Amino acid sequence: MNHISQLVDEELALRRDSRHYATLRIGGREIEIERLSGGSFTLAWRSMEDPSVVYAVVDAGVRDKEPVAAAHRRAPRNPHIPKVQRIGHLADGSTVYRMPYYKVGLRANPAEVRSVMDLARCAGRPSHYGPTRQEVLDCARTQKVKPSVLCALEILSEEAARIPGDFAFEFPEDNVAADARGRLVLLDVLYDRNLL
């Protein structure tokens, strides 16, 4: 497979060498990447040169990483907001983001695992008719969710309100991670209900 997408605003291209390997060109630099995982709208690729770096390629029209990138720019010291940075757009309309590699799943310290379990109960299952972001926040305030996690959720919710879409929260185990210090990272906890 030799699919090449060209850059829209700076030299950015993705060449799929196989189903599991690709080359990402940013400016004049080529980065060999290996596929980590794929969701409904995103493929995650890990740099083979620097395994601490992940590139997420998000389908055209999907904006669920935008509020996360904006939240990180706004509150870069909040440990629960992942360090997501938009790199640019490919010619096919997909968007490329750069972020650190986080170990996915509930490997956080016990208090933060409880926070995720409480949040999952508040959010329920993703659906068109599930609770709004505000309803999840209101519920989280009545639970034992850590104040710093609640602060991160409030920032994510405010940033999501600035972007077109009907964003809601979800907290499956695959969408949260822990940093090197065992602190909860809210990797991919927003989804656009319009895309369900």
Q: What is the pLDDT of residue 6?
A: 38
Q: Which residues of the chain have pLDDT under 50?
A: 1-9
Q: What is the pLDDT of residue 2?
A: 29
Q: Per residue, what are the HEC states of the chain?
A: CCCEECECCCCEEEEECCCCEEEEEECCEEEEEEEEEECCCEEEEEECCCCCEEEEEECCCCCCCHHHHHHHHHCCCCCCCCCCEEEEEECCCCEEEEEECCEECCCCCHHHHHHHHHHHHHHCCCCCCCCCHHHHHHHHHHCCCCHHHHHHHHHHHHHHHCCCCCEEECCCHHHCEECCCCCEECCCCEEEHHHC
Residue 148 exposure: Cα atoms within 13 Å on the Cβ side: 13
Q: What is the pLDDT of residue 1?
A: 27
Which tens digit of pLDDT belongs to each residue from 103-128? 776 666 777 778 888 999 999 988 77
Is residue 96 within 8 A of residue 89, CB to CB? The reply is: yes
CATH of domain 4-103: 3.30.200
Dihedral sign of CA atoms 164, 170, 172, 176 in order: positive
Q: What is the pLDDT of residue 107?
A: 65
Backbone angles phi, psi at 151, to 5 degrees: -60, -45
Q: What is the pLDDT of residue 112?
A: 77
Q: What is the dihedral of CA 145, 119, 163, 80, to 10 degrees?
A: 50
Give the pTM.
Answer: 0.87
> Which residues touch 72 (CB under 8 Å, ≥6 apart)?
81, 82, 83, 84, 85
Is residue 64 within 8 A of residue 190, CB to CB? The reply is: yes
Token pair belonging to 34: 């290996």
Is residue 25 within 8 A of residue 15, CB to CB? The reply is: yes
Q: CATH 3.30.200 in the chain, residues? A: 4-103
Judging by DSSP bridges, how do beta strands 85-89 and 95-100 pair with one another?
A: antiparallel
